[in-house]
Structure formats: C-alpha cells, structure tokens
Amino acid sequence: MATFVFLYFAAVILVAASLVVVLRNPIYSALSLLVMFFHVAGLYVTLHAEFLAAIQIIVYAGAILVLYLFVVMLLNVKREERFNQQGTVALFLGLVLLTEAVLLAVSRGFNVATPDPGPEGAAKAVGNTESIGEVLYSTYLFPFEIASLILLVAMIGAVILSKKGIMESK
C-alpha cells in the first residue's frame, strides 16, 4: 500500500512539474505548481515528517506561489507565442533520467530496507519538530544566521528601492 501511495504522489509530481514548464499560460503554470507543492507535502506526510509537510504548504504553496502570481499579474504576462526550441534536448535528458531511475529500481529490486533503531534508538525517539529545531539551532546555526542576514539585507534593499521609486515619482 505504501508503494502505491508513493507511486501516486511521484507520478502526480512529475506530471505537474512537466506542466509547469510546458504550459504557455503563466496562470495555469502557477496552478500546476500549486498541485505539485501539495503532493510534495503529501510525500512528507507519508515519511512521517508532518512538520515539513506543514512548512511546505505554508511557505511554498502559501507565500512563494502567491509571490509568483503577484509578479505574473503585475507584469501582465500574456501567453508565450513561440514555443521553447529545446524540446529535443529536454526529451533526451528526460529519457536518460528515466532510464537511470529504472535501472536503479531494478538493481535494488524495488525493496528499501528500513534500519531497526534497536532498544536504545526507541528510547531516544523524540518528536519531529523537536529534532529539527535541535539540529537547526546546534549543528546548522551558522548557515541559519547567514540565511537570516541575507534575507534582512534583501528586505532593507527592497524598502530602499521602493522609497526611491516613490520619491522619484513625486
């Protein structure tokens, strides 16, 4: 049953991601992206990573997709008249990736062994959110701080650019 659920989510993610690139109307591409984000969150739920699934929906489906839609609507982008000329290269690379995936699946025999945590691993089991927070604020504290600094600089830059645009229009 778990394999069927995974294959369903994987197939829908592949189709939706392909539609994001192939569709000519940017609104339809954004809606395909929304479907893909929700199915990626479904994959996280099947992996018992409920916190990551919630973050996937809140951040990507909520914030990032809304940002894409605002940009598309502000730029007033119409449908693309000329189609991308790199279809043959994309088809070739897609077939190469599909062949690699099939060869990997056949070589492993479609079985994925799950390690047994043993009695000491079961005693140390903590919640998903707690373990992510512990690793984020201990092991990955420096990259987390750098990312927050970059976001702060981007936010200040956006405010300065918008103030500059307001001052020039007066």
Higher per-residue pLDDT: 40 or 68:
40
DSSP 127: -
Residue 164 has pLDDT above 70, yes or no: no
147 in any annotated domain? no
Residue 166 has pLDDT above 70, yes or no: no
33 in any annotated domain? yes
pLDDT band at 78 (very low <50, low <70, confident <90, very high): low
CATH of the domain at 53: 1.20.120.1200
Distances (CA, A) of 59 to 52, 66, 158, 161: 10, 10, 20, 25
DSSP 55-120: HIIIIIIIIIHHHHHHHHHHHT----SSPPS-HHHHHHHHHHHHHHHHHHHHHHTT--PPPP-HHH
68 in any annotated domain? yes
* HSE (side-chain half, CA atoms, 13 Å) at 25: 4
- The pLDDT, as a whole number, for residue 147 is 87
Q: Which two tokens stand for residue 157?
A: 């830059």
78 in any annotated domain? yes
- Reduce the DSSP state of residue 139 to 3 states and report it: coil
Residue 36 has pLDDT above 90, yes or no: yes
Q: Give the domain range for residue 65.
A: 1-82
116 in any annotated domain? no
What is the number of structural domains in the chain? 1
- Reduce the DSSP state of residue 48 to 3 states and report it: coil
pLDDT tens-digit readout, 84-118: 566 778 788 889 988 988 888 888 776 655 555 55
87 in any annotated domain? no
State CA 41 to chain mean position distance. 9
